[in-house]
């Protein structure tokens, strides 16, 4: 690829001094997003990127049309029953946003969702909210809260039109469409009604974008009269509020990366004081679920106290004690299985867990004579070597079935209702992939790389069968933070890559959660570099096994995965032909040193506290991508994508990184969405065009653009 002359950012050194170390930062001035000079620089970078990729315009157009042609644009989601209605969403050809709808159930015993046809009128259908109407006049639109009162009369919804994840909360009367005067600005996502619909509970954020305060608002009264239900003083903790599926308890959840605390109040008395379940203990995480087992009302508590892969215990809601020592063990800890969630229903329990790097779902039937000691998990079996399975929409306490979502690299997203007593599964919907898609045309497999310390690292792969036996171009994706797992799933956009002869792989590096809690612990804090060396080991393995070559391998990751991309660019630039870093956390040390920035104090549990700990400072300085760009290194082609209004990873991080890469002659591009947040642009067609841009660049690096 050949580029025109790139922009050159001015150098205005700022000194950063910590623990006796002085770092001269020439590009920190780019942090001032209100500066016309900074905005002009970002726009100049966008112009340069557009000019540098102008030869890909036709390819971008083809990929966009391929995504569009494979997508059923006018479609409906599978209805989910709540109360006396089935709730679902519609999409329409030519429309950017979804339309939220509902239709009445036929009877109290109606648990079989109606088979809806996009072309057929649904009897009794009501439109609750049309995103295409609500977004009119805005370049960005996203819904952050969406709740219907139990009597079905009122809609609560929050809207962000800037991408900064602060939502204007509104209440709508559904019978008339009338908006109440109850407008609450600056809320976080996840607001709910109390069961009686009289109150709204919501949270607001502090200057660091941390949801720190939970409020109670009485519908129809001035917002100035709202009551603080909880204010969280510990700057590491986030707060949120919900309702148990049983409807018996309101729940406040408080948590840092490593510590949890829950508080409950009877839902029948929304103004009651919340009581702590277990007091927070540093390093102990837990979650709660209300259940009735036989004649006993219990809180099921999933915790990691002395149980790294988590254990499930039961306590009394009225006297929960102070921790696991006061509880009854329901599902014991196992080194082979990482328990992730338990959902309770009137007649069964559902479990989500991981084993051997794959997600699993199991159930346990409850009856009038059930006892905690008798609960065993019956696992649902699947026959693909790689797949993802998890709970779907299951809001109703009395429902006799379990809704699950299933898919793989080759199997489109599928929704099933499982009869818990018989084990029978009913396929309710499978994502349609238009254009003659045939799953048998593609193949998926699992490889294992060996890391520097001997650890075996799983890699999930998919490619199109074309008779080729030698190396092929590959896109290798990675994340590796926060115990978040990247599981196999079909992507319509990815087919444009696979059908051109490239393969796709996920490197399940340490720092993620694929192989249990230890896998996460070995990729955080002072073990973070394992994530980076694992990714390089996966790249080297694919080459050593003849699956690809370094000159036909592109790496990709976003957010914390963007940190991974920046780190491996410095660590092993020879291993890749190109690297795409999306909203990348590449100036990590600067950010984590500043407690006034959004999320920093919370993030100390993940990365360490370099502000007060010189060992952490030195360790992070040793890997932070911006500070470790090297002279005399032949870097691969690099594309950094970001958004001006991102509150999680500021645009300034990739802007500074690209400026530094340019100093050493790296072929780096920066693309900034000027009206978007951490998740990028909001409309689906805009998202397809954004992905088409990225895929065209990747194919260009792989020299597959003519295919």
- Bridge partners of 351, per DSSP, are 342, 362
Two tokens, residue 308: 């790294």
Instruction: Please give the Cα distance from 162 to 675 (Å, whole number).
Output: 7
Two tokens, residue 563: 């940190």
Instruction: Please give the Cα distance from 624 to 678 (Å, whole number).
Output: 20
Instruction: Please give the Cα distance from 516 to 250 (Å, whole number).
Output: 30
Q: Catalytic residue, from 182, 212, 226, 646: name it.
A: 646
CA 390 and chain centroid, separation: 14
646 is catalytic: yes
- Bridge partners of 604, per DSSP, are none
Smallest Cα–Cα separation from 198: which of 252, 149, 243?
A: 149
Instruction: Please give the Cα distance from 536 to 321 (Å, whole number).
Output: 47
Q: Catalytic residue, from 559, 624, 643, 682: name it.
A: 559
Contact 454, 529 (CB under 8 A): no
Contact 330, 375 (CB under 8 A): yes
Two tokens, residue 250: 């309101």
Phi, psi (degrees; rounded to nearest 5) at 604: -60, -30
**Cβ neighbourhood burial of 390 (10 Å; 0-12, 13-18, 19+):** middle
User: For residues 620, 625, 628 and 630, what is the CA-based torsion angle, rounded to 10 degrees?
Assistant: 160
Q: Catalytic residue, from 25, 678, 682, 700: name it.
A: 678
Cα distances (angstroms) measured from residue 460 to each of 24, 238, 360, 518: 41, 33, 17, 20
Smallest Cα–Cα separation from 517: which of 253, 300, 304?
A: 304
**Cβ neighbourhood burial of 76 (10 Å; 0-12, 13-18, 19+):** buried
Give the 3-state secondary structure of residue 54: helix
CA 375 and chain centroid, separation: 32
Two tokens, residue 622: 């040793």
Instruction: Please give the Cα distance from 250 to 252 (Å, whole number).
Output: 7
Question: Strands of 260-266's sheet, edge to edge?
Answer: 238-243, 249-255, 260-266, 275-276
Two tokens, residue 655: 């802007």
CA 424 and chain centroid, separation: 30
Instruction: Please give the Cα distance from 315 to 524 (Å, whole number).
Output: 32
CB atoms within 10 A of CB 421: 13
Instruction: Please give the Cα distance from 393 to 596 (Å, whole number).
Output: 38
How open is the CA angle 148-150-151, to the nearest 5 degrees?
Answer: 100
Instruction: Please give the Cα distance from 234 to 220 (Å, whole number).
Output: 32
Compute the chain's Rg from CA coordinates.
Answer: 26
Helix, strand, coil fractions of the chain, as percent rounded to 5: 20, 35, 45
Instruction: Please give the Cα distance from 64 to 570 (Å, whole number).
Output: 32
Instruction: Please give the Cα distance from 363 to 543 (Å, whole number).
Output: 42
Q: What is the DSSP string of 665-687?
A: T--EEEEEESS-BTTB--SHHHH
DSSP state of 512: B
Active site residues: 559, 646, 678
């Amino acid at each position: 690829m050949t580029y025109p002359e790139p922009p050159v950012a001015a150098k205005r050194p700022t000194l950063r001094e910590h623990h006796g170390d002085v770092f001269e930062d020439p590009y920190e001035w780019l942090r001032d997003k209100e500066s016309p000079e900074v905005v002009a620089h970002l726009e100049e970078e966008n112009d340069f990127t557009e000019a540098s990729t102008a030869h890909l315009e036709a390819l971008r157009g083809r990929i966009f049309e391929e995504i569009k042609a494979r997508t059923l644009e006018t479609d409906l989601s599978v209805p989910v029953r709540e109360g006396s209605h089935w709730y679902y969403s519609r999409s329409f050809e030519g429309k950017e946003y979804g339309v939220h709808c509902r239709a009445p159930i036929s009877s109290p015993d109606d648990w079989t969702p109606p088979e809806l046809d996009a072309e057929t009128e649904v009897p009794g259908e009501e439109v609750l909210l049309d995103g295409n109407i609500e977004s009119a006049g805005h370049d960005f639109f996203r819904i952050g809260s969406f709740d219907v009162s139990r009597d079905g009369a009122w809609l609560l919804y929050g809207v962000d039109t800037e991408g900064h994840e602060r939502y204007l909360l509104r209440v709508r009367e559904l019978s008339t469409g009338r908006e109440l005067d109850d407008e609450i600005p600056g809320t976080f996502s996840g607001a709910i009604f109390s069961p009686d619909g009289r109150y709204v509970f919501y949270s607001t954020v502090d200057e660091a974008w941390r949801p720190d305060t939970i409020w109670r608002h009485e519908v129809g009264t001035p917002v100035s009269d709202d009551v603080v239900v909880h204010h969280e003083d510990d700057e590491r903790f986030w707060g949120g509020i919900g309702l148990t599926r049983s409807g018996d308890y309101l729940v406040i959840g408080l948590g840092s990366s490593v510590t949890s605390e829950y508080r409950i109040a009877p839902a029948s008395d929304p103004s009651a004081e919340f009581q702590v379940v277990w007091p927070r203990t540093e390093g102990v995480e837990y979650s709660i679920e209300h259940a009735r087992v036989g004649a006993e009302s219990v809180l099921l508590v999933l915790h990691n106290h002395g149980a790294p892969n988590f254990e499930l215990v039961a306590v009394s809601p009225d006297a929960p004690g102070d921790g696991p020592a006061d509880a009854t063990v329901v599902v014991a800890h196992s080194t082979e299985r990482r328990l992730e969630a338990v959902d309770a229903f009137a007649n069964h329990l559902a479990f989500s867990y991981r084993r051997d790097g794959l997600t699993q779902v199991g159930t346990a039937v409850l009856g009038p004579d059930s006892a905690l000691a008798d609960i065993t998990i019956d696992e649902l079996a699947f026959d693909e070597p790689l797949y993802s399975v998890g709970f779907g929409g299951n809001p109703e306490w009395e429902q006799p079935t379990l809704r699950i979502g299933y898919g793989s690299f080759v199997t489109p997203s599928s929704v099933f209702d499982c009869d818990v007593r018989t084990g029978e599964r009913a396929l309710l919907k499978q994502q349609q992939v238009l254009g003659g898609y045939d799953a048998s045309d593609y193949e998926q497999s699992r490889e294992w790389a060996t890391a520097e310390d001997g650890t075996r690292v799983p890699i999930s792969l998919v490619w199109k069968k074309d008779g080729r036996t030698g190396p092929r171009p590959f896109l290798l994706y990675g994340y590796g933070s926060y115990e978040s797992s990247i599981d196999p799933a079909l992507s319509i956009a990815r087919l444009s890559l696979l059908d051109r002869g490239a393969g796709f792989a996920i490197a399940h590096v340490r720092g993620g959660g694929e192989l249990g809690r230890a896998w996460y612990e070995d990729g955080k804090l002072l073990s973070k570099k394992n994530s980076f060396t694992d990714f390089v080991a996966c790249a080297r393995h694919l080459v050593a096994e003849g699956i690809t070559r370094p000159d036909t391998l592109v790496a990709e990751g976003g957010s914390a995965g963007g940190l991974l991309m920046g780190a491996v660019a410095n660590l092993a630039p020879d291993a890749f032909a190109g690297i795409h870093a999306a909203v990348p956390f590449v100036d990590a040390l600067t950010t984590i040193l500043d407690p006034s920035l959004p999320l920093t104090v919370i993030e100390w549990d993940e990365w360490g506290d370099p502000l007060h700990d010189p060992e952490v400072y030195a360790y992070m300085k040793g890997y932070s991508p911006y500070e470790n760009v090297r002279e005399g290194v032949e870097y691969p082609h690099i594309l950094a994508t970001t958004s001006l209004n991102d509150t999680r990873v500021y645009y300034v991080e990739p802007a500074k990184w690209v400026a530094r890469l340019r100093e050493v002659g790296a072929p780096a591009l920066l693309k900034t969405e000027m009206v978007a947040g951490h998740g990028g642009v909001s409309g689906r067609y805009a998202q397809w065009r954004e992905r088409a841009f990225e895929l065209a660049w990747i194919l260009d690096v792989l020299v597959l653009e003519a295919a």
